[in-house]
Chain A
Amino acid sequence: MNLSREKILGRVRAALAPLKTRAAHPTFADNAATMRSLSTIDATALFKERLQLVNGRAFDDAASLVAWLKSEGHTHGYCDPTLWPSLESAFENSFKVETSFDRTRIDDYQFGITRSVGAIAETGSIVINDGSTSSRLGALAPWVHIAVVSKKQIYPDLVSAVMSLGEDPNVIWCTGPSKTADVEGILIQGVHGPGVQIALLDI
């Protein structure tokens, strides 16, 4: 193994040795790839707009979220145990919400509610990571994923989002529900990940 390492690195060095100069690392302004003509600079409003463009949904309070879940017939789900105390009151008795995710019964859970660590306004993305997600499977396997998003943690664009990745070993930008266009280029939502991506906006 180490022998391979030395051989490969040796070949890399030999390949680059003849170069008289090496191309420099270009610098670029923070806004080099900012989208033009954004409708608003209000982060929350822009996030909601772009989230909708990628077929995500936003709810401003638990009550409207629960009403929607009920209307869709999604009454059995999972919730991060640290979130449940503040959300419990919004759910009526017809709901069954578990606070631990049982991977032997993944098809039981119609929705999963977990935390996020932020959002990206320009793309309508929700940022989750290992530290904030009580269960990777709980955020991914159910048909509906609800991420609690703090309005104070909405990054305007990719540069700011990338600079805020932090030390967590598994950061994921979720931009809308999972999808595929493999079959004749026809867009189908809900493949292996959730078919519905929701942001529950908290203050």
Chain B
Amino acid sequence: MKYQQIDQYAAKISDEKRTAVYGGSKAGYDSRKKALFTHYTAPDDLRRLAGNIKQHTIENLDTYLPQVEAKLQANGAKVHWAEDSHEACQHVLEIMRARNATKIVKAKTMVSEEIGLAHYLEKEGIECLETDLGEFIVQIAHDQPSHIVKPIIHKNRREIAKLFEENGLGDYNDDPETITRRARQYLRHKYLEADVGLTGANFVSAESGRLVVVTNEGNSRFSLAATKVHIALVGIEKIVPKDRDLAILLNLLARSGTGQQLTVYTEFISGPRSATQPDGPEEMHVIFVDNGRTEVLASDCREILRCIRCGACLNVCPVYRQASGHAYRSVYPGPVGAVLSPLLAGKKFPELADLPKASSLCGACNEVCPVNIPIPDLLLRLRDRGKREHSEAAAAAAPPLGGFALGATLPIAWKSALALGGLINFVPRALLPRAVKSWIDARGLPPWRGGQFRKWMKQRKMK
């Protein structure tokens, strides 16, 4: 391959889309900075603390997973385990079939995207309706979300207005308030018609068996007030050791992701509805999903499992801002996706091994990560792996550096190169190595000064 796919994608997106993505990301970055630095004197200390809490958790998952399972069962929830996407979808289907259920209202959960749930259920005649406004719009547009927190960061109001008109949700009107009211009106009756409310979980406390679900819109609450069955899809890495740890993580999550102190609703769900409550699920099912996470745990990139899906790394990433989330060809885009997606791909790692290369390794992602994941280090490890596994996608457009490395280990060769390098100005452009041509086309070259410093230094020493 001559070109890197993500660079190509970035070159081809419309100005409108790039403006929307850039503006949305930058706003997210600015609001995070304001929230954290106005509220705390040492937000970086908090990030390190939260990182240590999550690192401890993933390194002790062998203890915490059985512990959280026992707690959930004691609370009256049923616990299921899914090795892969297919099994996870099957569990959902079985729960539906057992109750002759055909309608799900769904809050936002990236795991459901990962396992392709809506598509799977559609084939089984089950309606799986997105209720988060952004995801609802993605669904009716047959599109893909391009950000893990702001799914339609790439869309503008005109596109949404047209979409609503095409889907029988009123005449063309691109006023954001009108759009929102229409969605509210349409979806509230859908909740009441549905059989099952499906959510993810931002955290699961191993101490109390509580799922924590954070939202702004109230869609998760409505799903769990109107329906009789709750299904929660939870990645095995979402565990938090103690309730008290949640205070730190919750203080960081919304500030990092949206610049809010807390999202509007923080739900702590530990079982089906209480005996005296007329509304809500009588049954609660938690499906713990592996789907490649144990492989990540076994790898030298396990720190990525700390991720709490805030989206801060996307917001600050200069590559994400230029390319948009769709460029990453996977469920998780941006810096976190560049690590997680190729790893979760298992045997298909080489196909996504270009994702870790789509970075200048600037380190801004680590700087904003609420759990201090050393993303650039993980990207580097994956580049090493991509090279060793001879990934074509990773190797695309890469200048061969073997010769450079050789020259850099032989001082005589090096000094010759310094002396002769000036000849580059006389080599016809067509004969230059592709990488050099690419550089010179965009930037030219400064005057060649090979050997000059060493000469100066020698003369200085002689004085």
Q: Which residues of A are at the interface with B, using a C-beta cutoff of 8 A?
A: 1, 4-5, 7-9, 11-16, 19, 22-26, 28, 32-33, 35-36, 50, 54, 101, 103, 106-107, 122-123, 125, 130-131, 133-137, 140-141, 157-159, 161-163, 165, 168-186, 188, 190-194
User: Could you say which residues of chain A place their CB within 8 Å of the CB of B180?
Assistant: 180, 183, 188, 190-191
User: Could you say which residues of chain A place their CB within 8 Å of the CB of B60?
Assistant: 16, 22-23
Q: B216 an interface residue at 8 Å Cβ cutoff?
A: yes
Instruction: Given contacts A13-B62, A134-B278, list 19 more A-B pairs with CB under 8 A.
Output: A8-B294, A16-B59, A16-B297, A32-B248, A50-B261, A54-B264, A101-B278, A136-B280, A140-B225, A165-B243, A170-B270, A171-B267, A172-B265, A182-B152, A183-B152, A183-B176, A184-B24, A185-B153, A194-B218
Question: Which of B50-58, B115-123, B328-336, B374-382 is the interface stretch?
Answer: B50-58
Question: Which of B184-192, B352-360, B450-458 is the interface stretch?
Answer: B184-192
Q: What 5 A-B pairs come out closest when comparing CB atoms?
A: A193-B218, A15-B298, A136-B225, A11-B294, A136-B279
User: Could you say which residues of chain A place their CB within 8 Å of the CB of B290?
Assistant: 8, 11
Q: B133 an interface residue at 8 Å Cβ cutoff?
A: yes
The chain B residue with its CB closest to the CB of A125 is B262
User: B219 near A4 (CB under 8 angstroms)?
Assistant: no
B contact residues, total (Cβ < 8 Å): 100
User: B219 near A191 (CB under 8 angstroms)?
Assistant: yes
Would you list 5 pairs from A and B whose C-beta atoms are within 8 A, ordered by A residue? A11-B295, A106-B192, A135-B279, A158-B251, A172-B266
- With A and B bound together, what is the CA distance between A13 and B270 in angstroms? 26
The chain A residue with its CB closest to the CB of B156 is A184
Known: A26-B56, A190-B184. A36 touches B41 (CB 8 A): yes
Q: B386 an interface residue at 8 Å Cβ cutoff?
A: no
User: B62 near A12 (CB under 8 angstroms)?
Assistant: yes
User: Could you say which residues of chain A place their CB within 8 Å of the CB of B279?
Assistant: 101, 103, 135-137
The chain A residue with its CB closest to the CB of B217 is A191
Which of A106, A169, A175, A184 contacts B75, CB < 8 Å?
A169
- With A and B bound together, what is the CA distance between A186 and B150 in angstroms? 12
User: Could you say which residues of chain A place their CB within 8 Å of the CB of B286?
Assistant: none
User: B226 near A193 (CB under 8 angstroms)?
Assistant: no
User: B133 near A103 (CB under 8 angstroms)?
Assistant: no
Most buried by B among A23, A182, A184, A188: A182
User: B218 near A191 (CB under 8 angstroms)?
Assistant: yes
How far in angstroms is the closest Cβ of chain B from A98?
A: 14
The chain A residue with its CB closest to the CB of B79 is A5
Question: Which of B80-88, B407-415, B417-425, B436-444 is the interface stretch?
Answer: B80-88
Which of B65, B82, B242, B273 contacts A12, CB < 8 Å?
B65
- With A and B bound together, what is the CA distance between A161 and B61 in angstroms? 26
The chain B residue with its CB closest to the CB of A124 is B261
List which B29-69 residues lie within 8 A (CB) of chain A: 39-41, 46, 49, 52-53, 55-56, 59-62, 65-66
Which of A14, A26, A170, A186 contacts B274, CB < 8 Å?
A170
User: A35 near B265 (CB under 8 angstroms)?
Assistant: no
- With A and B bound together, what is the CA distance between A161 and B261 in angstroms? 15
User: Could you say which residues of chain A place their CB within 8 Å of the CB of B295?
Assistant: 11, 15
- With A and B bound together, what is the CA distance between A9 and B280 in angstroms? 32
The chain A residue with its CB closest to the CB of B64 is A12
- With A and B bound together, what is the CA distance between A76 and B191 in angstroms? 22
Which of A8, A25, A135 contacts B53, CB < 8 Å?
A25
User: B56 near A182 (CB under 8 angstroms)?
Assistant: no
- With A and B bound together, what is the CA distance between A77 and B177 in angstroms? 24
Q: B208 an interface residue at 8 Å Cβ cutoff?
A: yes
How far in angstroms is the closest Cβ of chain B from A167?
A: 8
User: Could you say which residues of chain A place their CB within 8 Å of the CB of B59?
Assistant: 16, 19, 22-23
B208-223 near A? 1/0 per residue, CB < 8 Å = 1010000011110110
Known: A9-B65, A123-B262, A169-B270. A180 touches B294 (CB 8 A): no
How far in angstroms is the closest Cβ of chain B from A74?
A: 17
User: Could you say which residues of chain A place their CB within 8 Å of the CB of B151?
Assistant: 182
Which of B53, B75, B176, B274 contacts A188, CB < 8 Å?
B176
Q: B4 an interface residue at 8 Å Cβ cutoff?
A: no
- With A and B bound together, what is the CA distance between A164 and B298 in angstroms? 37
User: Could you say which residues of chain B place their CB within 8 Å of the CB of A188?
Assistant: 176-177, 180
How far in angstroms is the closest Cβ of chain A from B364?
A: 20
The chain A residue with its CB closest to the CB of B52 is A26
User: A123 near B261 (CB under 8 angstroms)?
Assistant: yes
The chain B residue with its CB closest to the CB of A25 is B56
User: B297 near A12 (CB under 8 angstroms)?
Assistant: yes
How far in angstroms is the closest Cβ of chain B from A115?
A: 12
User: A180 near B133 (CB under 8 angstroms)?
Assistant: yes
Q: B363 an interface residue at 8 Å Cβ cutoff?
A: no
User: B20 near A130 (CB under 8 angstroms)?
Assistant: no
How far in angstroms is the closest Cβ of chain A from B128?
A: 17
User: Could you say which residues of chain B place their CB within 8 Å of the CB of A33?
Assistant: 40, 46, 247-248, 251-252
Which of B75, B236, B242, B264 contacts A176, CB < 8 Å?
B264
- With A and B bound together, what is the CA distance between A171 and B297 in angstroms? 32
User: Could you say which residues of chain B place their CB within 8 Å of the CB of A4?
Assistant: 81-83, 87
User: Could you say which residues of chain A place their CB within 8 Å of the CB of B302?
Assistant: 15
User: Could you say which residues of chain B place their CB within 8 Å of the CB of A28?
Assistant: 49, 248
List which B1-45 residues lie within 8 A (CB) of chain A: 20, 23-24, 27, 39-41
The chain B residue with its CB closest to the CB of A143 is B184
How far in angstroms is the closest Cβ of chain A from B123?
A: 22
Which of A135, A136, A175 contacts B266, CB < 8 Å?
A175
The chain A residue with its CB closest to the CB of B274 is A130
User: A178 near B265 (CB under 8 angstroms)?
Assistant: yes
User: Could you say which residues of chain B place their CB within 8 Å of the CB of A162?
Assistant: 243-244, 246-247, 250
User: Could you say which residues of chain A place their CB within 8 Å of the CB of B316?
Assistant: none
The chain A residue with its CB closest to the CB of B222 is A192
- With A and B bound together, what is the CA distance between A39 and B341 in angstroms? 44
Most buried by A among B56, B75, B247: B247
- With A and B bound together, what is the CA distance between A173 and B76 in angstroms? 22
User: Could you say which residues of chain B place their CB within 8 Å of the CB of A180?
Assistant: 133-134, 180, 216-217
- With A and B bound together, what is the CA distance between A151 and B134 in angstroms? 37
- With A and B bound together, what is the CA distance between A107 and B252 in angstroms? 36
